[in-house]
């Protein structure tokens, strides 16, 4: 098509073309709003849906619920029941919750430490929405001591085991090419395990979100997008092999996001009064995470980047566990948790791709097929190690 064929118009006229569909859409929407699409007679009874997103026990004798309306219309919370008893409450800003609206409900209820409590919200048309306090315990308030203690837990779980794993690095440097390939394959194996685990965790968080967040598709899309962005970043120098430090950094980022999730889990366990579970998790994750140090160090065996780089890598991979513990313990936000974990899935998948590429190239250099029995054994070993150590953190 030639340029002459296009009539010349003023820019304002061109904009008018863009606005016409929008104006017509406005007319259509107005028609639908006024007439209900002509199906108004078919409109059934109201559909009420709210989600209790968080229950906290901020002080003795007080239960606080955060409620989000994720249904198609506004909902009025007329009464509140605690343990099958009607109970006095205050709602802020109002008992009427519009679509997408949020309300905080305070119930002055003498909850009992260590007991379970059941909450019900009764709407104006008698719909019941339920929530549960599995083990009543005062919700941790951010104070300096607890902040420090939670931080220490994150340190034990994230940073220290990864640093310990990295201490195999001097030994790894003395291995021959085959053994290094085996360890890189092992890294791929453990990353595959982490990717699957993080994916499942993200989906579980997503399932708890108010419906309008569309948690499951959001997880898939965020993971895919993260994967794409990291892939673009990792391959921008055409033809060149990715730098070993770059690969290690990306592995550390992926593992870091995964460890953020572990921190969240530990913090939330303590916040929910599941102290014993929290303890198991601390022990389990610590053991589980030592292999992560191996994975991060593996791409670096041919070129030592210096101890400062190792410290930085350990911080990137392990530090988020500390942050996660704080977040989980003091200000748990399921939306943020879901997003972080989804990014983690994408990040881990990208390094699987990248490290996998390294293994394949190394095999080709040695004149071997892409997938050797040794590589396969390495991947299997990685998965098995993670699988077995994960016994400690699965309940």
Partner 1 sequence: MSWWQRLLNRRDLLKVGAGASAALVGAAALAQRTPNATRTADGHPIDHGGHGGNRMIGTVDHTKNGFDPLQLLTDWDYGKVSRLPNGQTLREYTFIAQEKDIEIAPGVTFPAWTYNGRVPGPTIRCTEGDRLRVRLINQSRHPHTIHFHGVHPWEMDGVPGAGAGEIPPGGSTVYEFDAEPFGCHLYHCHATSLKRHIHKGMYGAFIIDPEQGRPPAREFVMMQNAFDTNFDGGNEVYAVNTIGFEYARRPIPVQKGELVRLYLINILEFDLINSFHLHGNMFDYYDHGTTLTPTSRIVDTTMQAQGQRGIVEFRYKYTGQFMFHPHISEFTELGWMGMFNVVEPKDFPRALQDVGLNDTWNERALNGFAAKQKGSAT
275 binds partner 1 (CB under 8 A): yes
44 binds partner 1 (CB under 8 A): no
Among 64, 66, 74, 122, binds partner 1 (CB under 8 A): 122
331 binds partner 1 (CB under 8 A): no
Can the peptide bond before residue 349 be classed as cis, meaning omega within 30 degrees of 0?
no
* 336 CB-near residues (< 8 Å, 6+ apart): 327
Listed ranges 8-16, 130-138, 304-312, 359-367: which one lies at the site for partner 1 (CB under 8 A) = 130-138
Please report how close the Cβ of residue 248 comes to partner 1 at its closest, in angstroms.
24
Positive or negative CA dihedral for 280, 283, 286, 290? negative
Dihedral, CA of residue 71, residue 133, residue 198 and residue 335, to nearest 10: 40
Binding mask 52-91 for partner 1 (x = CB under 8 A): --------xx--------------x-xxxx--xxxxxx--
Distance CA 53, CA 109 (A): 19
276 binds partner 1 (CB under 8 A): yes
Please report how close the Cβ of residue 390 comes to partner 1 at its closest, in angstroms.
9
Q: Which of 264, 267, 262 is nearest to 284 (CA)?
A: 262
287 binds partner 1 (CB under 8 A): no
* 103 CB-near residues (< 8 Å, 6+ apart): 66, 67, 69, 77, 91, 92, 93, 94, 95, 97
Distance CA 379, CA 238 (A): 28
Q: Give the Cβ contact number of residue 131 at 10 Å.
A: 19
116 binds partner 1 (CB under 8 A): yes
Percentage helix, strand, coil, to 5, in the chain? Answer: 65, 15, 25
Distance CA 283, CA 390 (A): 11
124 binds partner 1 (CB under 8 A): yes
For partner 1, which is the closer residue by CB, 347 or 355? Answer: 347
Please report how close the Cβ of residue 332 comes to partner 1 at its closest, in angstroms.
11
126 binds partner 1 (CB under 8 A): yes
Q: Which residues bind partner 1 (CB under 8 A)?
A: 60-61, 76, 78-81, 84-89, 95, 107-110, 113-114, 116, 122-128, 132, 134-135, 137-138, 140, 145-146, 149-150, 153, 197, 200-201, 204-205, 207-208, 261-262, 265, 268-270, 272-280, 282, 393-395
């Amino acid at each position: 098509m030639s340029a002459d064929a296009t009539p010349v118009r003023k820019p304002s006229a061109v904009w008018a073309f863009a606005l016409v569909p929008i104006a017509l859409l406005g007319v259509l929407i107005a028609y639908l709003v006024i007439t209900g699409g002509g199906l108004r007679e078919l409109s059934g009874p109201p559909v009420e849906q709210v989600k209790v997103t968080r229950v906290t026990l901020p002080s003795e004798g007080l239960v606080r619920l955060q409620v989000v309306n994720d249904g198609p219309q506004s909902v009025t919370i007329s009464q509140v029941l605690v343990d099958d008893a009607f109970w006095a409450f205050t709602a802020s800003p109002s008992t009427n919750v519009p679509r997408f609206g949020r309300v905080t409900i305070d119930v002055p209820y003498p909850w009992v430490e260590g007991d379970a409590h059941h909450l019900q919200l009764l709407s104006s048309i008698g719909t019941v929405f339920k929530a549960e306090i599995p083990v009543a315990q005062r919700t941790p308030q951010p104070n300096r001591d607890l902040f420090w203690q939670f931080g220490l837990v994150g340190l034990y779980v994230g940073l220290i085991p990864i640093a310990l794993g990295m201490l195999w690095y001097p030994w790894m440097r003395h291995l021959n090419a085959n053994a290094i390939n085996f360890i890189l394959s092992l890294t791929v194996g453990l990353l595959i395990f982490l990717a699957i685990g993080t994916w499942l965790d993200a989906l579980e968080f997503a399932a708890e979100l108010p419906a309008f967040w569309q948690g499951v598709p959001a997880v898939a899309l965020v993971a895919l997008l993260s994967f794409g962005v990291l892939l673009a970043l990792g391959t921008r120098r055409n033809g060149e092999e990715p730098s070993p430090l770059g690969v290690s950094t990306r592995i550390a980022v992926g593992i870091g996001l995964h460890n953020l999730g572990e921190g969240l889990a530990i913090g939330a366990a303590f916040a929910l009064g599941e102290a014993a579970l929290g303890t198991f998790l601390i022990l389990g994750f610590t053991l589980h995470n030592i292999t992560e140090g191996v994975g991060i160090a593996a791409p670096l065996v041919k070129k030592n980047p210096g101890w400062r780089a190792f410290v930085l890598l350990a911080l990137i991979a392990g530090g988020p566990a500390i942050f996660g513990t704080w977040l989980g313990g003091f200000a748990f936000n399921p939306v943020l948790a879901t997003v972080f974990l989804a990014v983690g899935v994408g990040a881990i998948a990208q390094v699987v791709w990248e490290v996998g590429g390294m293994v394949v190239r190394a095999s080709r250099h040695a004149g071997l097929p892409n997938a050797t029995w040794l590589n396969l054994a390495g991947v299997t070993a990685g998965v098995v190690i993670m699988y077995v150590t994960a016994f400690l953190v699965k309940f």
